[in-house]
Amino acid sequence: MKNNRITYWFIKGFISFFMLFSAYFSFSHARDLQLLGFPDYFRIELVTAKVIGAILLLIPQVPLRFKEWIYAGFCIAMVSALIAHICSHDPASKIIFVVADLILIVLSIRYVSKRDYITLNNKQI
pLDDT band at residue 125 using 50, 70 and 90 as cut-offs: very low
How far is it, in rounded angstroms, from Cα 102 to Cα 38? 19
How far is it, in rounded angstroms, from Cα 57 to Cα 89? 33
How far is it, in rounded angstroms, from Cα 68 to Cα 1? 24
Spatial CB neighbours of 112, under 8 Å, sequence gap ≥ 6: 8, 11, 12, 15
Cα–Cα distances in angstroms (integers) from residue 75 to residues 67, 71, 96, 103, in the given order: 12, 6, 16, 10
Residue pLDDT, tens place only, 39-68: 999 999 999 999 999 999 999 899 888 988
Kindly calculate the radius of gyration of the chain based on its CA atoms and give it in whole angstroms: 16
